[in-house]
Chains A and B, each alone.
Chain A
Amino acid sequence: MGRRARLKQGVPKTLDEFKKEQKRAKRKSREAEYDSDSPPPVSKKPKPAGTKAQTKERGRENSETKKSAKGKGKALDDDDEWGGFDKEDGDLDALTKFQFEEDDQGDIGDGDIPADDDFLGDDDELIDRGPKKMLEFSDESGSDDNEGDDASASASDYDSDAPVTAKTMERQSRALEKKVAREAELDQEDVAAGNQQGDDMEDIAFFDLPTAEEREKEQETGAQPPEELLRRIHDCSKVLSDFKRLANKDRSRSEYVQQLLSDMENYYGYNAFLTEKLFNLFPVAEAIEFFEANEVPRPVTIRTNTLRTRRRDLAQALINRGVNLEPLGKWTNVGLQVFESSVPIGATPEYLAGHYMLQAASSFLPVMALNPQPEERILDMASAPGGKTTYISALMRNTGVVFANDANKARTKSLHANVHRLGCKNVVVCSYDGREFPKVIGGFDRVLLDAPCSGTGVISKDPSVKLTKSEKDFLLLGQLQRQLILCAIDSINPKSDKGAYVVYSTCSVTVDENESVVEYALKKRSNVELVPTGLEFGVEGFTKYQEKKFHKDMKLTRRYYPHVHNMDGFFVAKLKVHPPSPKKKDEEEPEENAAPEEPLFAWNNEEDEAIMKEEQRKQLLRKKGIKLRPKTTSPHKQPNPVAVA
């Protein structure tokens, strides 16, 4: 504010405001007096007797322990209160000019002088006002008698009508502290009681957890209203989070889960298969957050084209056009987040001149993981509409070569347009089925495979995923992804000194499109290993999920969630391809293993020799043409003058 504005007094208060202020001041002063002295005037609003009694009882139980602890602490507060008193005194002095206040407000600061008989007075007066007192403090007066000396002393101090003198000030201040402590105590207990009551109430409400039949009936008659569904979803999730304490005793956990799944299915509009699949990825509360996040769109983000402009200049130019934007985050130096824009962000002259590209934040990640360097040969197997390809080209500064492939010929049009708009000169656009690489051309330094997926991470962009994806889709996609990743690995030149990396990414959060596919690749290609992605944030990939167990390096992969990172659900894995190892090693090993093995049956070489000699003799005779008579049972040779060996 300017100096003149500050120095101005401002508009004077209206009469009503003035009266209100006065009343407030009056009340404050009255309370202060009341605290230090004795029972409040009858005109004060009476609190319900019950609670007051309760508070008093509980307060007293702890007052003795609290007294010493809080006594010191509260001394300062007391001073403040006295201090505050004085301030109000000032106001009231000013107000005394007007004849609105009652007499009792006169001199509050001077405790010695009783300003009003109602407020101040002797103990006699206390007794006189017995009936009035009983309205409010009936229990108190009763319990007074029961208390011990200290407590009663404090109570009597509290209730005393004695004027505030130097002697009584200390006692009265201690009484005040105790009162405040008691009330704080009671507040906390109330809150705790309230909580317990709430949970207990839920327990009661869950008598009504519908059985399977009831659920079916409900579905036939038509779904519940959304508020009802949402309430049940939250109740179920709360019960499941603390099952031992909150669940109905004769209901199993699976029943609650079934109810929750059915409600989420109806409320969010998914099919049953997908609800369960996505639900099983997270703990209960997080699952609800995930589903909620899928209802809300992610922020619009753009990527500066470093071939044409700098982020600073682009931001300035767009701000001049009336776009409200901010840098996307510390992790990227080309990303900008658009909050609101008075011009269509996809049609500004800067956009048309190729200074930026509308691209989701999650799509930056696989290219950052790939980390392409200038003068490299890079393949992007599923590149339409070209956001990642143009980013790769920008990072390579238009050197080397990028093969931008997309199986869908119609989508190559937008790919071609974007490549030219952003000024990428080192791109070859082709339209093969990704599985035809490396037959077409191989020997790449890096390959990016942003595999076609179910799109469960981009439900906020495309809600049709909720209803159309079934088990069959996941099976078919899984098969396609496995084939593609093997082709990607085979397209790499493992001897490349520029790093033989494959980055596999999907815009999906399910395990059978992400970790399962990478695990398959690791099993099928023994010369491939997982390496760190180089992305500094993101949830680690699962090393085990339900009944599946994955390679321990799977935690090097990264997962991104809409409800955690505020970007589309995504998965990124970086693989390094090594030259295949020679096979000799494998052959030696089995031999070594076989040799020390115990033979199943023993060879007896001597017997064999005897038999073998016999057979040789017979063969010789047969050659000569001599007929051999069959041997008799006797092992000895029969006298056969002709058959002589």
Chain B
Amino acid sequence: MRPLTEDESKAVFTKLANYIGKNLVHLIDRPDDPHCFRVHRDRVFYVSEKIMKLSISVSRDHLVSVGTCLGKFSKTAKFKLHITALDILAQYAKYKVWVKPNGEMPFLYGNHIAKAHLGRITEDTPEHQGVVVYSMSDVPLGFGVTARSTIDTRKLDPTGIIVFHQADVGEYLRDEDTLI
């Protein structure tokens, strides 16, 4: 387990900022319970410092995960966010999308969100913006990237895609093996 390098930090923070924007500060600077980012086997973990100190005693071969896994670096050093980061994103999300009950299941199967399934969306969401997807009862379902801005969404026909699927909680069942 090692701290992030400069480049890695940049990659991770830009990705996170896409979803939570300025609230990133809350992640990095937490006065009451300082957390840190650590890399272990190409995966990025966000963990409280106290726990991190204890986990040092676990050897590299035997450690599986510490705290919350945010995502992993691909072979070409690109950072991809995993569904396991949903908790953190949902807490600090800036732009949110709510899905109607009939649209929950298609999204959980991995499909993109069509306009017909859209319940609500935060105002002035720009295009290609990272959003967190909620159900109508405010349960986080996953996250994605907007295909169109809010204004354009209004002009779209019901079958048009408004949010590209990035990750959803259905992956806990579908991709259990590849999560770690």
Contacts and interface: CB of A to CB of B under 8 A. Distances in A.
B58 A440 contact: yes
Contact of A428 (B66, B141, B169, B173): B66
A349 B48 contact: no
Contacts of A428: 51, 54-55, 58, 63, 65-67
B64 A429 contact: yes
Interface in B42-57: 47-48, 50-51, 54-55, 57
A443 to B, nearest CB: 10
Interface in B24-68: 47-48, 50-51, 54-55, 57-59, 62-68
B156 interface: no
Given A401-B50, A425-B48, A428-B55, A353 B87 contact: no
Interface string A219-261: 0000000000000000000000000000000000000000000
B68 A425 contact: yes
B176 A414 contact: yes
A372 to B, nearest CB: 15
Interface string A389-425: 0000000000001010000010011111101110101
B96 to A, nearest CB: 15
Nearest to B66: A428
A88 B154 CA distance: 81
A529 interface: no
Interface string B61-89: 01111111100000000000001100100
A353 B90 CA distance: 12
Given A416-B179, A421-B172, A428-B51, A353 B58 contact: no
A420 B48 contact: no
B87 A423 contact: yes
B18 interface: no
Nearest to B88: A425
Contacts of B116: none
A317 B135 CA distance: 13
A612 interface: no
Contacts of B51: 401, 426, 428
Interface string A142-169: 0000000000000000000000000000
Nearest to B65: A429
Contacts of A432: 58, 62
A540 B48 CA distance: 42
A409 B61 CA distance: 11
A322 to B, nearest CB: 13
Nearest to B52: A428
A352 interface: yes
B70 to A, nearest CB: 10
Nearest to A350: B139
A347 interface: yes
A413 B58 contact: no
B144 to A, nearest CB: 16
Chain A interface bracket (under 10, 10 to 19, 20 to 34, 35 or more): 20 to 34
Nearest to A308: B139
Interface in B138-166: 139-141
Contacts of B180: 412-413, 416-417
A427 B67 CA distance: 6
B173 A352 contact: yes
Contacts of B173: 346-347, 352
A431 B69 CA distance: 17
B7 interface: no
A425 B141 CA distance: 19
B177 interface: yes
Contacts of B63: 428-431
Interface in A237-288: none
A427 B65 CA distance: 8
B21 interface: no
A420 B69 contact: yes
Which of A403, A414, A421 has most B Cβ within 10 Å? A421
A426 B54 CA distance: 11
Which of A354, A401, A416, A432 has most B Cβ within 10 Å? A401
Which of B64, B69, B104, B105 has most A Cβ within 10 Å? B64
Contacts of B172: 352, 417, 420-421
Nearest to B172: A421
B19 to A, nearest CB: 17
B140 A353 contact: yes
Nearest to B84: A420
A182 interface: no
24 contacts: A347-B173, A349-B104, A349-B139, A350-B139, A353-B139, A401-B54, A403-B54, A409-B64, A412-B180, A416-B65, A416-B179, A419-B65, A420-B68, A420-B84, A420-B87, A420-B172, A428-B63, A429-B66, A430-B63, A431-B62, A431-B64, A432-B62, A440-B57, A441-B58
Interface of B: 47-48, 50-51, 54-55, 57-59, 62-69, 83-84, 87, 104-105, 108, 135, 137, 139-141, 169-170, 172-173, 176-177, 179-180
